[in-house]
Chain A
Amino acid sequence: MSLPRSAPPPAWSRHEATGRALALLQAYLADARLASCRLVLVTRRAVATHADEDVADLVHTPLWGLVRSAQAEHPHQAIVLLDTDDSQPSRRALAPALDDAEPQLALREGCHLAPRLARLLAVRAAVDSHPEHADLPRFARALAGERSVWALPHPPGYARGEALPVDRDAVLRAYTASALRAGTAAPFAVVGYSAAGWVAHALVSELERGGIYPTALVLIDTYLRSEISSRLISIFLDASLRIFPSMPWGTDELTAQAWYQTLFPDWTPDHHRPNPLRPRPGARTWDGGRGRAGRERLAYLLEAAPQPH
């Protein structure tokens, strides 16, 4: 299927284009007779293949996120996304390009380009606002040269003297603006750790409502709100103070933590598509990296923690 060229009529919006593509995908997936057929969706300069390339067809840019999601949910279906610059060399290269096994590719002056690895946009946790506990640099360093990690700004309200966000929408507006500034045309996944996972999930939902589809949502040891009792919160705070004794926890951080609990009172990841990835630490594999003292602290956690309800 070749999607309409850019310069669409006024009524042709991104939402309509995405809706049309969604209907096509659903029809393709629902028809058993097409199970052995390959679906190829062709766009014309709807994505940038490098940082300096302009996107000429913004109407169909969201389609890339939508189709990536469909590819993730139906890995055995032959769905191909191809973006071309429509140059003569690329026109000649179009049919041979479809022999590639790549599910996503671009043609520029006849050259085949595979998408780079998705960037990770990280919603930062409170603890990495302090240099000695800065987790994201270590996390990013591990992927240096392979995948870039972008840190979105800290949640509003955690900095000394910073006003707390009025409500959840205020948090989402701030994060959506940050994500757009970081760039969403190239593939990206959203990552959140602990309670920052609630924000990450809400951010992805907000982006999807606007027609922007991250390739994945990764929630690192994020608890459901229903799992968190007041006693567990107390234990978490106590453990935080014991494990990070040098962390300058002050009234601003503690107030912000409590406030964010109220902003996501009923959080549950039941609306996201595709299904999120949830890296869960296996406490039994803890290797005592913090030494004897750390081992004792872990024992404290395990002894004191209640069963999740």
Chain B
Amino acid sequence: MLGGSDWRTSWKQPHSLIEVPGHHFNVLTDHAESTARAIHDWLATAPSHR
């Protein structure tokens, strides 16, 4: 059995990563609000992304 952290995307390309609650299938349903807030906050943090 795989651990909870094993089944994830694994990019090596440059990017900014934020961890949000949920799994692939509920990140935009049950966890739509926390996902939206996380994206909003990240965009708001960098002035040129706002």
Q: Which residues of A contact B (CB under 8 A)?
A: 67-72, 75, 102-104, 115, 117-118, 120, 125, 128, 133, 135-136, 138-143, 146-147, 149, 187, 189, 191, 193-194, 215-216, 218-224, 227, 239-240, 243-244, 268-270, 275-287, 289-290, 294, 298, 301-303, 305, 307-308
**A-B Cβ contacts below 8 A, count:** 192
Contact (A147, B40) CB under 8 Å given A189-B49, A279-B27, A281-B31: yes
Query: What is the number of residues of chain B that contact chain A, defined by CB distance less than 8 Å?
Result: 46
Bound-state Cα–Cα, A286 to B40, Å: 21
**Shortest CB distance B45–A (Å):** 10
Q: Which residues of B contact A (CB under 8 A)?
A: 1-11, 13-33, 35-40, 42-44, 46-50
Contact (A139, B11) CB under 8 Å given A68-B48, A220-B28, A284-B4: no
Flag if B16 contacts A283 (CB, 8 Å).
no
Give the nearest-CB partner of A133 in chain B. B29
Flag if A275 contacts B11 (CB, 8 Å).
no
Give the nearest-CB partner of B9 in chain A. A223
Contact (A135, B28) CB under 8 Å given A227-B9, A276-B15: yes
16 cross-chain CB contacts under 8 A: A75-B47, A138-B29, A189-B43, A220-B39, A224-B9, A278-B17, A279-B19, A279-B27, A280-B18, A281-B26, A282-B5, A283-B5, A286-B26, A289-B31, A302-B7, A305-B2
**Shortest CB distance B16–A (Å):** 5
Give the nearest-CB partner of A128 in chain B. B28
Bound-state Cα–Cα, A103 to B47, Å: 7
Give the nearest-CB partner of B20 in chain A. A279
Apart from the given pairs A276-B15, A277-B18, 6 other A-B contacts in the complex at a CB distance below 8 Å: A103-B47, A142-B40, A143-B40, A215-B49, A268-B13, A281-B20
In this complex, the member of A136, A140, A277, A284 whose beta carbon has the largest number of chain B beta carbons within 10 angstroms is A277
Bound-state Cα–Cα, A185 to B6, Å: 41
**Shortest CB distance B23–A (Å):** 5
Give every chain B residue within 8 A of A302 (Cβ-Cβ).
1-4, 6-7
| Interface residue from B2, B25, B39 paired with A279 (Cβ < 8 Å) | B39
| Interface residue from B8, B14, B26, B43 paired with A117 (Cβ < 8 Å) | B43
Contact (A279, B18) CB under 8 Å given A139-B36, A143-B36: yes
Give every chain A residue within 8 A of B44 (Cβ-Cβ).
117
Give every chain B residue within 8 A of A286 (Cβ-Cβ).
4, 21-23, 26
Flag if B48 contacts A142 (CB, 8 Å).
no
Flag if B5 contacts A284 (CB, 8 Å).
yes
